[in-house]
């Protein structure tokens, strides 16, 4: 097996760099495709394409090692494609709907984000959890799951393996909570609209909100997504706050300069285009927009595969349990508090 691997590696090293790079990028999309197929299987469908793909990538790394010859292409996916996905993700943010709902929505969502971040960081200190993982989980819990983690990770200079661990945890816990919401819905004293708001304000990802709110009807789903969009909207100011904090700390500790994440500008531009131009000034069919959203999901999935391939379970097995516990406790507390203020 080892000799065959060395044989393949030596053959690939003789190929043009561009070809090897393309194969690296293609490899991340191959695993993303397997993740997509796995997500169609009953049971795994609740986990989703992204989480399935990152799980497969992590397992591949453990059994077959990191494909060194494909490193440049894999790094391109985990970094460049990740930024492209975040930029296009801005098209999903309907600023008009968020701003029309008024200041109350944004104030409530601001409170949710602050609570999630501070509680996760506080519990992380108690459990002696890695600071960056706890911050990423706090942001993911408070804002919009994997997309928020992916947006914040370059700002706080998170390691790829820490980002991948955080994404995996957020996907797992978010899915479990969504299923719990569906199970307990008939026995909780909330009408359909209140249940939708509860789901949208307390669950982790847009997909988790859709999964939990859909069984309560179209109105619950619509109001749930709206409540979630308020939190997505606040990702923009949150990122700028984190940039300011990181720059201040870098001056204090004389560490390296914090580069401005220009992909955030693209995210804002796409948000403005999606909210005020596409479908308004410039007519665009729903099929085209759905195609763009699907493409964005594939970019994000390939990027997560790149991150997953950087995870060595031998190195990080002690890293996952404590942050998982901290995030579960934060998520439970957030669900209970939001339940009583809806």
Per-residue pLDDT at 99 exceeds 80 = no
Non-local CB neighbours of 168 within 8 Å, separated by 6+ positions: 51, 54, 55, 58, 308
pLDDT band at residue 295 under the 50/70/90 scheme: very high
pLDDT score for 111:
93
pLDDT band at residue 142 under the 50/70/90 scheme: very high
pLDDT band at residue 137 under the 50/70/90 scheme: very high
Its pTM surpasses 0.85: no
Top-confidence residue, 145 or 295: 295
Rounded to the nearest angstrom, the gap between the alpha carbon of residue 254 and the centroid of all alpha carbons in its chain is 31
- Write the pLDDT tens digit of every residue in 212-261: 887 888 778 778 877 888 888 888 899 989 988 888 877 655 455 556 66
Q: What is the mean pLDDT of the chain?
A: 82
Top-confidence residue, 273 or 206: 273
Question: What are phi and psi for residue 278, nearest 5 degrees?
Answer: -65, 125
Per-residue pLDDT at 309 exceeds 80 = yes
pLDDT score for 315:
58
Asked if residue 339 lies in contact with residue 198, where contact means CB atoms within 8 angstroms, the answer is yes
pLDDT score for 258:
56
Non-local CB neighbours of 104 within 8 Å, separated by 6+ positions: none
Top-confidence residue, 102 or 124: 124
pLDDT score for 247:
81
What integer is the mean pLDDT of 114-141? Answer: 90
Of all residues in the chain, the percent with pLDDT exceeding 90 is: 21
Top-confidence residue, 94 or 293: 293
Q: What is the dihedral angle through the alpha carbons of 157, 158, 159, 165, rounded to the nearest 10 degrees?
A: -170
Q: Where are the domains of the chain?
A: 17-341
**Residues 63, 153: Cα–Cα separation, whole Å:** 27
- Write the pLDDT tens digit of every residue in 25-64: 999 999 999 999 998 888 777 667 877 888 898 889 888 8
What integer is the mean pLDDT of 163-174? Answer: 84
- DSSP symbol at 203: S
Per-residue pLDDT at 85 exceeds 80 = yes
Mapping DSSP onto H, E and C, the string for 245-257 reads HHHHHHHHHCCCC
Per-residue pLDDT at 128 exceeds 80 = yes
Instruction: List C-alpha distances in Å: 215 to 15, 185, 192, 204.
Output: 52, 9, 9, 18
**Residues 35, 51: Cα–Cα separation, whole Å:** 8
The highest-confidence range among 114-118, 183-187, 247-251, by mean pLDDT, is 114-118
What integer is the mean pLDDT of 112-130? Answer: 90
**Residues 92, 232: Cα–Cα separation, whole Å:** 9
Of all residues in the chain, the percent with pLDDT exceeding 70 is: 88
Non-local CB neighbours of 108 within 8 Å, separated by 6+ positions: 201, 230, 341
pLDDT score for 11:
54
Among 117, 118, 331, smallest CA distance to 212 is for 331
Asked if residue 338 lies in contact with residue 202, where contact means CB atoms within 8 angstroms, the answer is yes
Per-residue pLDDT at 4 exceeds 70 = no
pLDDT band at residue 112 under the 50/70/90 scheme: very high
What's the angle, vertex CA 137, arms to CA 136 and CA 139, rounded to 5?
Answer: 65
The highest-confidence range among 215-219, 290-294, 310-314, by mean pLDDT, is 290-294
Among 289, 143, 297, smallest CA distance to 209 is for 143
pLDDT band at residue 338 under the 50/70/90 scheme: very high
User: What are the DSSP calls for 59-95, one per residue?
Assistant: HHHHHH---GGGHHHHHHIIIIIHHHHHHHHGGG--H
């Amino acid at each position: 097996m080892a000799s065959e691997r060395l044989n393949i590696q030596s053959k690939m090293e003789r190929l043009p760099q561009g070809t090897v790079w393309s194969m690296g990028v293609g490899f991340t999309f191959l695993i993303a495709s397997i993740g997509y197929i796995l997500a169609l299987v009953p049971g795994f469908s609740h986990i989703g394409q992204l989480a399935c793909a990152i799980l497969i990538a992590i397992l591949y790394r453990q059994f077959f090692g990191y494909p060194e010859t494909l490193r440049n292409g894999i790094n391109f996916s985990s970094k460049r494609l990740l930024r492209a996905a975040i930029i296009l993700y801005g098209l999903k943010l309907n600023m008009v709907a968020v701003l029309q709902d008024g200041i109350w929505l944004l104030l409530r969502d601001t409170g949710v984000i602050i609570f999630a971040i501070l509680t996760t960081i506080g519990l992380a200190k108690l459990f002696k959890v890695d600071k960056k993982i706890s911050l990423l989980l706090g942001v993911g819990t408070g804002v919009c799951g994997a997309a928020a983690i992916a947006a914040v990770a370059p700002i706080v200079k998170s390691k790829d393996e820490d980002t991948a661990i955080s994404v995996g945890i957020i996907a797992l816990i978010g899915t479990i909570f969504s299923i719990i919401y569906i199970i307990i819905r008939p026995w909780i004293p909330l009408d359909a609209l209140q249940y939708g708001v509860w789901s949208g304000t307390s669950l982790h990802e847009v997909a988790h909100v859709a999964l939990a709110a859909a069984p309560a009807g179209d109105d619950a789903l619509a109001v749930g997504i709206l409540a979630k969009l308020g939190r997505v909207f606040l990702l923009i100011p949150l990122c700028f706050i984190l940039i300011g904090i990181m720059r201040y700390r870098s001056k204090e500790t004389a560490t390296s300069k914090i580069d401005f994440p220009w992909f955030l500008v693209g995210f804002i531009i796409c948000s403005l285009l999606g909210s005020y131009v596409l479908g308004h000034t410039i007519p665009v069919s729903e099929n085209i927009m759905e195609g763009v959203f699907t493409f964005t999901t594939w970019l994000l999935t390939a990027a997560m595969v790149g991150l997953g391939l950087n995870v060595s379970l031998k190195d990080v097995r002690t890293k996952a349990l404590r942050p998982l516990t901290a995030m579960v406790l934060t998520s439970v507390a957030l669900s209970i508090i939001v339940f009583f203020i809806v």
